[in-house]
Structure 1
Amino acid sequence: MKIYFRLLSFAKPIEKFAIPYVIATLLAISFNTFLFTLLGPLMQAIFLEKCETITKTQANGSWNPMEQFDSYINNIIADDKIFALKIICVVIVITVFLANFFRYFSQRYMEDLRVHTLLNLRKRVFDNVMNLHVGYFNNERKGDIISKVASDVQVVQFSVTNTLQVVFKEPVQLLFFIGVLINISLKLTVFSLLVIPISGFVISKIVKRLKQQSTQSHQSFAKMIGFLDEALGGIKIIKAFNATFRIKEKFDEENKFYSKLNRKMARRQQLASPVSQTLGVLVVVFILLYGGIQILDGTGDLEPHKFIVYLATFSQLMQPIKALTDSFSGIHSGIAAGERVLDLIDTKPELVNKPGAENLTTFEKELTFEHVDFYYGDKQVLKDININVKKGSTVALVGPSGGGKSTLMDLIPRFHDPKSGAVKIDGYDYKDLTVESIRAQIGTVNQESILFNDTIFNNIAFGKPEASEEEVIKAAKIANAHEFILNTEQGYQSFVGDRGNKLSGGQKQRICIARAVLANPPIMLLDEATSALDTESEKLVQDALNNLMQNRTSIVIAHRLSTIQHADVIVVIDKGEVVETGSHSELMSRNGLYKRLIDMQAFND
């Protein structure tokens, strides 16, 4: 129940919806119950030849509205049965209208609550996902996260709000019906209500395994979403290696497992309702037999018209019981989904601003690494890194693949914190500054050109959404992108497609550079920005990068060493350590690892 109440907290302010819902529901239940009590007077007016007039009960503390109404109708029936029938019919119509009128508003308020809960829950989940550190996404399946944000949240929303609706409405309706039954015959009601605990015990046994199966079902669905995401992202590779059949089989296998689980769950859930209904019908048959014999023999104290009301009301008693049992079986699925959603909400980002962290407003002097060590799990990736990047300089990071260059680059925008040592900017330790203010000073152009399925204009203006058209065009010209953009179908308003798949690699990269130019940060990070391009595109992109780096502090990871020979400082990193530092000419004269790398590239070219 702890999980349920925590999930319910996302409905706050719940009183905004709950109070009008409770009022509307109580009125709907009152008129719905009154409707069944009208069957007695209706039977009297139509079928009974004689009618004994009942004296009205005075308001002496034991006033009974049902007896008052019966007394009024019986007095009219004694004088004019046809007029009494007309009155009863009018009251039935009014009662049905009012019952349904208030039922509509109660459902409307509950739907508002449901939508409000979903809005809050999904916002909280997505906000927390966006706040998580970059490393989290390296260890989690994207499909699992998508499943939690999309599917599981939906399950939680329906389960929690539906249960809330049932927990209030159905017990109250049940109490109203029981009140009518007790008013007619206490002895018969006490016996007949034994069906409720028996039904509850049987159903609890039936749905015992639902939570475990529901958890497995949500996990299986997440796997399928993951397969789908990977298949769509790697469709060219799948087809190129003739792996279509194998991927389809993999998806189909998980799909069958998911379907089998859902089938088992549905069978258990569906079994609960027939069991409760069957038990209810058995009790109704017994009541019919017991009460009918008494009336026919004339031995009982039940009047025929009241016995009819009793039977009709008891038959309706099973509807709230059925709704409660269905809700009880369905809540397991909601709790299982809720646990997965709350697990995501409870995941704390590793990088948070410490209390009293300062905002970095400008970059004035230098960026330094002081004795920095970094680990991925138990594996040490960076060892005692000491680098000094002066404002306005260009620093190139080079070395064999897997040496730790990209990891070192990720420390600069504080995607990770070092295990030991410190990263400082203008003398401030990163940990004393807000993450947002650090990243505001930094722009990034990655090896992978990451674009969003939006217009070229919006992709360029991503870092500065308030930018004017002139500013965007100016940035595109600096990035050598303006000309090809004008040649697209709708110019700057052309959509780039999913991940920019409507553009070539060089075009995507130049838009990424234009995005960085427009943001105009003082520090620029370039992570092998030309490594995936052909020669012609590489030249255009390299020219754009040269424009980008003018009058700006730049830290570059280069695939082609010929492109960084002009760098002020070249840092050679091998196996997580800085092995050489200096200018191109200084490093060439040392005849070390840098010279060997240059010679190898020259030989390969």
Structure 2
Amino acid sequence: MSKITGDAFNSGLLKRIFQYVRPYRNIFAWAIVLTILLALIAPVRPFLIQYTLDNHIMKGNYSGLLNMTIIMLVLLVLQAVIQFSHTLLTNTLGQSAIRDLRINVFNHITKLRLKYFDNTPIGQLITRTVSDLETIAEIFSEGLIVIIGDILMVIVIIGVMLYKDWTLTIIVLLPMPLLIIATSIFQKAIKSAFQEIRTEVSNLNTYLQEHITGISIIQYFARENQEYKKFIKINARYRDANIRSNWYYSIFFPVVEIISAMSLGLLVWYGSKSILSNPLTVTPGIIAEFILYISMLFRPIRELADKFNTLQMGMVGAERVFKVLDTDEVTENKGALAPEKMKGAIAFQNVWFAYNDDNYVLKDISFEVEAGKTIALVGATGAGKSSTINILNRFYEIQRGEIKVDGLRIQDYELSYLRGKIATVLQDVFLFSDTIFNNITLNNPAITMEQVVDAAKKVGAHDFIERLPGGYQYNVMERGATLSAGQAQLVSFIRALVYNPSILVLDEATSSVDTETEMLIQLAIENLMQGRTSIVIAHRLSTIQKADRILVLDKGEIKEMGTHQQLLKLNGYYKKLYDLQFHSAGVKI
């Protein structure tokens, strides 16, 4: 996409924005009609005042004055109604289009590759989805349509002025070049300030999101004062950017008023001279009419610079939002394979995978897991265990080799189908600020309360849930703050079970569970694994000794493969891990 920070009328970007206006083209059409009406009505009132002054007040015609007063009141009411309708329609148009765009952005973000989130601060995405989208809404409510209306109004007023008295019009417009110069300087300065404000908003959101999420770490290490000082600096930069923009406004508006006063002064000077001359060349009514025209002329010109920047910042926001939308997402493969049943046989064939370029974290990995069997992955931190799970779920795409399930490449399955058949229980459990029931079902209407209760009983969690206020309707608050680590882990275990997966992944699934609770769910885990292909990642070797096969990884390579007893007899890498955990403590398995 081309950069538009210096171009407020990027046709390609405007075309993309207006794609979201198409469903509301009737509203848009009426908004344009009302814009034209407002521009045409604007010069009527000064004309009526001129006519009233010269033909009724100056001649003492009170009945005519009364009639004109009624006409002007009706006109004011009509103008107010049109202005109200115009404001309502433009804001409705902007918010409706942005609602659709925001839904599209959120839907797209949920499908982005995890690599994107590895390199993008969450606070920045929040800014894109909230603040930047609001600037696009202002393209309609305060930008493009208003600019069109103001320009049209200026043209109509100048046209009427020239028709009424071209000499007086030229006199009034003499200071106009000064206004054009001042507007151009202001427009460039305020654009820079607005861009700085948007950058600092993004920085502020990112900092707040990260530090509120990680508040426990800040408090554990008593870093409150240091982080407070950092926030003061970030907040000060945001304040300074806003003050800078306000400073430009505080200069520009008085300059416009001075130039407007110059036009008014020239009008009064020339008009008074003409009125006092003999014969009379300019009537008092025309002078009054032109005074009103000056006010009506300078107001839209003064606001044009501000509205132009509103449009420009909306385009900058649009560029940022569409940059997110243009980011590659994981291909859904709609219409691809989605068989009624998946057995769960897994095969990795010469798989190479790197998160960044050629820095491979998995190197020529090959292994197979028969349907219904259990394989365990062991190894030191960074060996590639979690990466194996990530690429099986297609969170990341491999560079070389193939991964197959039931003899078919994982890319050949519908993505939602593939992930729906793989249930993963992670070490770091994430629970939403919602009820236990909704955290288990993830708002899937196909899962009933009976299924949830049955799964909870199988993992031994039903009793503790029933003791909570409200039971399964208990709100766990943000990130499950009102549950213990073990309870949160059990909820995630139920979540995996109710989806009835063909492949079960346990990534350090019992690491946050105390010894008593771990013993409670071990039998449930064994029952859950029955008839399912299971992949178990564990640092504690006691949890994987019953696996049908154990895969030992080190620095992305398979070092050893076999059962627990076979690997011990090899007296190799696995034996060293075993000795580190058990032998020195005199424990035997």
The normalised TM-score by structure 1 is 0.90
Greater alpha carbon shift after TM alignment, 380-389 vs 360-369: 360-369
Matched, 1:24 2:4: no
Identity of aligned residues (%): 32
Aligned mates of 1:147, 1:184 — CA distance in 2:
51
Change in Cα spacing, 1:188 to 1:201, as seen in structure 2 (3 Å) is same
Contact kept? 2:147, 2:304, Cα under 8 Å: yes
Aligned mates of 1:502, 1:536 — CA distance in 2:
20
- AA matched with 1:165: I
Instruction: For residue 476 of structure 2, give the secondary structure of its aligned residue in structure 1.
Output: coil
**What residue in structure 1 maps to residue 345 of structure 2?**
366
Aligned mates of 1:7, 1:196 — CA distance in 2:
34
Matched, 1:43 2:53: yes
Change in Cα spacing, 1:344 to 1:194, as seen in structure 2 (3 Å) is farther
- AA matched with 1:310: F
Post-superposition offset of 1:335: 3.1
Post-superposition offset of 1:137: 0.7
CA deviations 1:135-175 (Å, max 9, x no partner) are 21111111111111111211222245411222221122223
**What residue in structure 2 maps to residue 592 of structure 1?**
572
**What residue in structure 2 maps to residue 565 of structure 1?**
545
Aligned mates of 2:375, 2:64 — CA distance in 1:
99
Higher RCO (C-alpha 8 Å, min separation 6):
2
CA deviations 1:318-346 (Å, max 9, x no partner) are 12212212212333433333332222222
Post-superposition offset of 1:485: 0.6
Instruction: For residue 10 of structure 1, give the secondary structure of its aligned residue in structure 2.
Output: coil
- 1:33-72 aligned at under 5 Å gives the runs 33-44=43-54, 47-49=57-59
- 1:254-273 aligned at under 5 Å gives the runs 254-273=234-253
65, 76, 90: which one aligns with 1:110: 90
Greater alpha carbon shift after TM alignment, 86-95 vs 529-538: 529-538
**What residue in structure 2 maps to residue 292 of structure 1?**
272
**What residue in structure 2 maps to residue 418 of structure 1?**
398
- AA matched with 2:346: L
Contact kept? 2:538, 2:544, Cα under 8 Å: yes
Contact kept? 2:57, 2:65, Cα under 8 Å: no
Instruction: For residue 443 of structure 1, give the secondary structure of its aligned residue in structure 2.
Output: strand
- AA matched with 1:403: A
- AA matched with 1:7: I
Post-superposition offset of 1:14: 5.0
**What residue in structure 2 maps to residue 179 of structure 1?**
159
429, 450, 475: which one aligns with 1:470: 450
- AA matched with 2:246: A
Aligned mates of 1:353, 1:125 — CA distance in 2:
16
Aligned mates of 1:466, 1:423 — CA distance in 2:
30
Instruction: For residue 282 of structure 2, give the secondary structure of its aligned residue in structure 1.
Output: coil
Contact kept? 1:203, 1:275, Cα under 8 Å: no
Contact kept? 1:464, 1:518, Cα under 8 Å: no
**What residue in structure 2 maps to residue 347 of structure 1?**
327
Aligned mates of 1:558, 1:306 — CA distance in 2:
90
Contact kept? 2:46, 2:292, Cα under 8 Å: yes
CA deviations 1:278-300 (Å, max 9, x no partner) are 21221121011011111112355
Post-superposition offset of 1:205: 1.8
CA deviations 1:209-242 (Å, max 9, x no partner) are 4444433332222222222122222222211211
- 1:87-126 aligned at under 5 Å gives the runs 87-126=67-106
Matched, 1:485 2:465: yes
Matched, 1:167 2:147: yes
- AA matched with 1:41: Y
Instruction: For residue 368 of structure 1, give the secondary structure of its aligned residue in structure 2.
Output: strand
Post-superposition offset of 1:91: 0.8
Change in Cα spacing, 1:458 to 1:174, as seen in structure 2 (3 Å) is same
Change in Cα spacing, 1:314 to 1:365, as seen in structure 2 (3 Å) is closer
Contact kept? 2:183, 2:302, Cα under 8 Å: no
CA deviations 1:371-408 (Å, max 9, x no partner) are 00111213111111011011000111111111111101
Aligned mates of 2:518, 2:184 — CA distance in 1:
67
Contact kept? 1:510, 1:544, Cα under 8 Å: no
Greater alpha carbon shift after TM alignment, 207-216 vs 470-479: 207-216
Aligned mates of 1:19, 1:407 — CA distance in 2:
53
The normalised TM-score by structure 2 is 0.92
Greater alpha carbon shift after TM alignment, 182-191 vs 435-444: 182-191
Aligned mates of 1:210, 1:278 — CA distance in 2:
20
**What residue in structure 2 maps to residue 434 of structure 1?**
414
Contact kept? 1:374, 1:419, Cα under 8 Å: yes
Contact kept? 1:166, 1:323, Cα under 8 Å: no
**What residue in structure 2 maps to residue 275 of structure 1?**
255
- AA matched with 2:390: D
**What residue in structure 2 maps to residue 215 of structure 1?**
195
- AA matched with 2:21: A
Contact kept? 2:343, 2:502, Cα under 8 Å: no
Instruction: For residue 521 of structure 1, give the secondary structure of its aligned residue in structure 2.
Output: coil
- AA matched with 2:338: N
Aligned mates of 1:261, 1:83 — CA distance in 2:
58
Contact kept? 1:31, 1:99, Cα under 8 Å: yes
Change in Cα spacing, 1:9 to 1:276, as seen in structure 2 (3 Å) is farther
CA deviations 1:18-50 (Å, max 9, x no partner) are 22112233334444432221212332366424x
- AA matched with 1:416: Y
Post-superposition offset of 1:259: 1.1
- AA matched with 1:581: M
Aligned mates of 2:444, 2:54 — CA distance in 1:
79
Aligned mates of 1:343, 1:595 — CA distance in 2:
51
Aligned mates of 2:105, 2:89 — CA distance in 1:
24
Change in Cα spacing, 1:142 to 1:564, as seen in structure 2 (3 Å) is same
Contact kept? 2:347, 2:403, Cα under 8 Å: yes
**What residue in structure 1 maps to residue 483 of structure 2?**
503
**What residue in structure 1 maps to residue 285 of structure 2?**
305
Instruction: For residue 363 of structure 1, give the secondary structure of its aligned residue in structure 2.
Output: coil
- AA matched with 1:376: Y
Instruction: For residue 599 of structure 1, give the secondary structure of its aligned residue in structure 2.
Output: helix
Post-superposition offset of 1:474: 0.9
Aligned mates of 1:599, 1:206 — CA distance in 2:
73
Gaps of 5+ in 1: 50-76
307, 312, 317: which one aligns with 1:337: 317
**What residue in structure 2 maps to residue 400 of structure 1?**
380
Aligned mates of 1:355, 1:108 — CA distance in 2:
40
- AA matched with 2:112: L
**What residue in structure 1 maps to residue 5 of structure 2?**
none
Aligned mates of 2:402, 2:220 — CA distance in 1:
46
- AA matched with 1:372: V
Aligned mates of 1:487, 1:562 — CA distance in 2:
31
170, 179, 185: which one aligns with 1:190: 170
Post-superposition offset of 1:550: 2.2
**What residue in structure 2 maps to residue 544 of structure 1?**
524
**What residue in structure 2 maps to residue 375 of structure 1?**
354
Post-superposition offset of 1:274: 2.9
The number of aligned residues is 574
Larger Rg: 1
Change in Cα spacing, 1:438 to 1:332, as seen in structure 2 (3 Å) is same
Aligned mates of 2:438, 2:532 — CA distance in 1:
24
* TM-align CA RMSD: 2.1
Change in Cα spacing, 1:209 to 1:336, as seen in structure 2 (3 Å) is farther
**What residue in structure 1 maps to residue 123 of structure 2?**
143
CA deviations 1:487-546 (Å, max 9, x no partner) are 111111110110111001111111111111110011111101112332223323434323
Contact kept? 2:126, 2:205, Cα under 8 Å: yes
Aligned mates of 2:161, 2:408 — CA distance in 1:
77
- AA matched with 1:497: M
- AA matched with 1:414: R
